[in-house]
Structure 1
């Protein structure tokens, strides 16, 4: 059980000047504009709160989009960099580090103040919130929530690196704030793509059902987290590579193992869609400091009959042939032109289909979460913090202290119980051996699989 919590202070953090930049959002930003994204960094040490606040102000000067506000002009969503500011809340929480890590996936964890995404879209509400919680025993949790229209996880990590640099006195990352995001992507992305839109327009009946599922998610779903150590992931990769007859990446093997295991434990033998968001900066050699939602996705139909090695091969093939088979920037724009821009808010990703158990895996590893430092201290843990438990949505990040992997997924409560039982644990960890070392938090966190 969580102990008491007490808010000590909330202040608005500003950079101290208004650059006045107007950022015109692109199609991807607009389709994501009703979504908050929330994460928590957990430290085993107490952090200097005055230095954190001062460092955040300097980071906002470096990335003013986070301190701005949204507005709509001529049917186009815009971010006004007016330095309206970011609410920063300081809390005392009677919870030790391990207990806080165990609660981080709960919508009401008390570790993060989730952005009001819909309210911010209509203007006046902040695009970023920060909550700093002093934990029992001297730890610190930093919970951040930002509006998805501002940017993807890579954009947020630019802010975190700038914040860390401001506190530590090191150079900030290079940042490129593009004033017309759609025009920029039109210029830098390939002229030809898959020709298949990554967006779809649900019919009225499905739209009603999606709304119902969102409302029922908190009652019918549970979020589970799985820690997989480096040694077991290494064995997993070796075995699946041998079965596939080709060298597989750790991430590809891990994704295939997790998805296959979920489908097996759910007793699901049907062909379902696996969706993998793909970050375009690396793939097309774009500057890593470009701010925005520089994203597309792979949507891969897959049957469990093929086994995890077959799925891992299919994932690799899809990524290798991404431009021709999955990139949908221009196809999405043609699709929106065909239905009218006023209906963008009704569209969803083709891979977003919870009624048909379509699993989405967002890979947030290799983004440098554990490279963030405040007062010389690096995180002991990093995790997404869900605002709602929509089934089949999942994330993959590095594990505790930057070792192994932490997998987070919301599933129907019946499957969650099966995953937590002996059969589920044995299937998830079939590559683990008793002698494998585990980080202390992996043994201390309640309900971690």
Structure 2
């Protein structure tokens, strides 16, 4: 396998320093990595040329992260994106996808070491193009979560694709101080419940030990829900509740009910949904950063999925007034030591001891629209290594058909979910005669 790695810098840039938000600092040890799969290869020189141009408008991705007086900043100094080109003549795209859960990450993505990235001020985004024997390619991207969320990343990716096609794209909004901007532009609400909890030393040790243990005793599962399956699910929920619900409402409630029924745990727990609050908080959609928080819904052992879906819908419809926790979380952090003690704060849903389930939904970001000329991706996936169980994502399926739900769970519970009777329960809305997409039928890891 041949490879080369080098820095790609913007053609033009204005040096600027951006003060990270407390949300950015809470996730300072987290990276995000994804892979786009293309049947047709794209010339890397043309990709690089377009990247150099688009980075001028998206300087946060070519900068570095630095600590100043215990606070995190993005220094837009045009350090550059770490770009790799690899040629793999031993694999085809289909073989890669068939073996995806076991594939070495380095084959597809150049993973960032988040702590070293800050300590050494090294690149906070990597891009890896891998060309395969079949003529196809993968585009693997890893970025430091502190610089932006999935929405920010997709603004960048769509702009890159547009620049490649010589088309216009919306310019991003980059603010110098993210917390101050939110304080000035978000409407304060009545919510007094913070979105994080403060851990003492013993709790930090317990949680850290559990996470280390969980990394060895967890399994990653992937479930495919077809378009018809989701349609049948929504129809059933409509008939039972007499209320129109989103696909996300019903799928999250349905999944949580199945997992809760099979899990031997009798205490209350949270179902937490990641919410992008740009539109709900009436701030510009083109703003870059981490404008996300969690909607935390308490549930007990016996879950009624219909009532839970209704509760999710009501909460999301009233999110800004009742659940947006920017102000309450910021005040809670300030009361308990401030940014200097940020390592002692953990988001409410990140609590593997209490078996909270966190679900991120990536189905509305247009990942299958990242088109370079006439080459569209036919598959997109998250390709990180979640070291904490109980984290999960909903993504669009192959060629934008159906959804794939990926979840990290303790081994014993994962084995239960994979039992034949339980798989039938999970897919009770799927008609036996339904023909699945060819790739879905071929993949043993897709349940």
What is the TM-score of this pair, normalised by structure 2?
0.95
Task: Find the counterpart in structure 1 of residue 432 from structure 2.
Answer: 434
Structure 1 residues 320, 304: CA separation in 2 closer, same or farther (over 3 Å shift)?
farther
The DSSP-based 3-state class of the residue aligned with 1:177 is coil
User: Unaligned 5+ residue runs, structure 1?
Assistant: 1-5
Alignment match of 1:98 (pick from 84, 94, 99): 94
Alignment match of 2:421 (pick from 400, 420, 423): 423
Instruction: Please state how far the C-alpha of 1:81 moved relative to its aligned partner.
Output: 0.7
Moved more, 422-431 or 220-229: 422-431
Task: Find the counterpart in structure 2 of residue 54 from structure 1.
Answer: 49
Task: Find the counterpart in structure 1 of residue 406 from structure 2.
Answer: 408
- Is 2:200–2:344's contact at 8 Å kept on the other side of the alignment? no
Moved more, 214-223 or 150-159: 214-223
Task: Find the counterpart in structure 2 of residue 222 from structure 1.
Answer: 219
- Counterparts of 2:445 and 2:84 in 1: how far apart (Å)? 28
Match status 1:260 vs 2:257: yes
- Is 1:107–1:388's contact at 8 Å kept on the other side of the alignment? no
Instruction: Please state how far the C-alpha of 1:133 moved relative to its aligned partner.
Output: 1.3
Match status 1:250 vs 2:264: no
Structure 1 residues 193, 174: CA separation in 2 closer, same or farther (over 3 Å shift)?
farther
- Counterparts of 1:98 and 1:263 in 2: how far apart (Å)? 35
- Is 2:280–2:320's contact at 8 Å kept on the other side of the alignment? no
- Is 2:261–2:302's contact at 8 Å kept on the other side of the alignment? no
Matches within 5 A, 1:392-403: 392-403=390-401
Structure 1 residues 248, 42: CA separation in 2 closer, same or farther (over 3 Å shift)?
same
- Is 1:193–1:323's contact at 8 Å kept on the other side of the alignment? no
Moved more, 208-217 or 160-169: 208-217
The DSSP-based 3-state class of the residue aligned with 1:222 is strand
Task: Find the counterpart in structure 2 of residue 69 from structure 1.
Answer: 64
User: Unaligned 5+ residue runs, structure 2?
Assistant: none
Matches within 5 A, 1:22-171: 22-93=17-88, 94-105=90-101, 108-109=104-105, 110-171=107-168
Instruction: Please state how far the C-alpha of 1:396 moved relative to its aligned partner.
Output: 0.8
- Is 1:193–1:329's contact at 8 Å kept on the other side of the alignment? no
The DSSP-based 3-state class of the residue aligned with 1:305 is coil
Structure 1 residues 372, 278: CA separation in 2 closer, same or farther (over 3 Å shift)?
same
Instruction: Please state how far the C-alpha of 1:267 moved relative to its aligned partner.
Output: 4.4
Q: Which runs of 4+ in 1 moved over 6 A?
A: none
Moved more, 268-277 or 351-360: 268-277
The DSSP-based 3-state class of the residue aligned with 1:18 is coil
In the TM superposition, what whole-angstrom CA distance separates every residue of 1:121-143 from its partner, at most 9, and x where no partner exists? 23412110111112342221111
In the TM superposition, what whole-angstrom CA distance separates every residue of 1:221-276 from its partner, at most 9, and x where no partner exists? 11111110110000001111222231211111111111212222334454311111
Alignment match of 1:374 (pick from 369, 372, 377): 372
Aligned-pair Cα RMSD in Å = 1.7
Match status 1:279 vs 2:276: yes
Alignment match of 1:294 (pick from 279, 291, 296): 291
Instruction: Please state how far the C-alpha of 1:148 moved relative to its aligned partner.
Output: 0.9
In the TM superposition, what whole-angstrom CA distance separates every residue of 1:365-399 from its partner, at most 9, and x where no partner exists? 11110111023111111111122342110011111
